[in-house]
A and B are shown apart, each in its own frame.
Chain A
Amino acid sequence: MQVETDHVFKALADPTRRAIYEGLTRDGEQTVHALTRRAGISQPAVSKHLVVLKRAKLVRHRHEGRETHYSASPQALAPLVDWMSVYGAFWRDRFDRLENLLDRMEQ
């Protein structure tokens, strides 16, 4: 689980990869060629980014003829949503400690 979370965070830490992922989320399935045209970087560079996104399970692909089609798998964002809720747990724990301190303090 931790490893998967790391992959998701690392994959989305790069602005170009985020843009590719965003494009797939917004516009649906696209070929590597189409992604390359829009990204303004070389196809090998786009392919490298797609490998990282695939490792994080943020995108899936299928082959059709000579083209590979990529689409977004937003379910993989779940670890990030969990991460946001970490702050809730953090503050509840700190409230416990605060209350404990108050109990020990003089009036």
Chain B
Amino acid sequence: MINTWTDSALTRTVVVEREMAHSPEKIWRALTEGKLIEEWLMTNDFLPVVGHRFTFRAAPVPGWSGIIESEVLVVEPHVRLVYSWGSMGVGSVVTWTLTPTESGTHLRMEQSGFGPDQEANYKGAKYGWNKFIGNLERIVGGLES
């Protein structure tokens, strides 16, 4: 078999940050109360409890169920919120960081990983994403040469 896919480190990261003229406490509510989350992100059954498993649901589109499987990983009220974000067999981690500023809050979102999640590993090649994204960067890196 040609089967040489390697478990290369997965380092894709998306960072979005913004200064907001609102207190960390208020932003925290919008990040952690299900009804408020739904208004800006997606419908959900989120609870700010470490270990709580929940789903985000968006309208399905062809090729995507619209379901994101998540688990709460870190809850530090008004400071930091971390949950996993698994979809299409690709797992990642979303980290929210709130830092008070003179005029409000510096809000930072980092989504990192984009590696194969456990569900996809379990399902094997069903989604076909296993190890793929991890290799993408290396292959694309080879484009330069």
Chain A, 27-61, CB within 8 A of any chain B CB: 35, 38-40
Residues of A within 8 A of B54 (CB): none
* Chain B residues whose C-beta falls within 8 Å of the C-beta of A105 in the assembled complex: 26, 29-30, 36
Judged by DSSP, the binding face of B is mixed
Report which of A23, A77, A87, A97 forms a contact with B136, defined as CB distance below 8 A.
A77
**B132 with A84: CB separation less than 8 A:** no
- A91 close to B16 (CB less than 8 A): yes
Asked if residues B140 and A81 are in contact (CB atoms below 8 Å), the reply is yes
Chain A hits for B40, CB < 8 A: 94, 97-98, 100-101
Interface residues in A77-95 by Cβ distance below 8 A to B read 77, 80-81, 84, 87-88, 91-92, 94-95
Give CA–CA (A74, B140) in the complex, Å.
7
A99 to B22, CA, bound (A): 9
Contact with A along B29-48 (1 / 0, CB 8 A): 11000001001110000000
B1 sits at the interface (CB 8 A):
yes
Docked pose: A36 CA to B27 CA in angstroms: 57
Partner of A95, one of B109, B125, B130, B136: B109
A71 CB, min distance to chain B CBs, angstroms:
13
- Count A/B pairs, Cβ under 8 Å: 95
B111 within 8 A of A: yes
Tell me whether chain A's interface is mostly helix, strand or loop, or mixed. Answer: helix
Per the 8 Å Cβ criterion, residues 1-23 of A in contact with B are 12-16, 18-20, 22-23
B-binding residues in A (CB < 8 A): 12-16, 18-20, 22-23, 25-26, 35, 38-40, 74-75, 77, 80-81, 84, 87-88, 91-92, 94-95, 97-102, 105, 107
> 19 pairs across A/B with beta carbons < 8 Å?
A13-B127, A13-B129, A18-B5, A18-B128, A19-B4, A25-B142, A35-B2, A74-B140, A74-B143, A77-B139, A88-B14, A95-B109, A97-B39, A97-B41, A98-B41, A101-B30, A102-B22, A102-B26, A107-B26
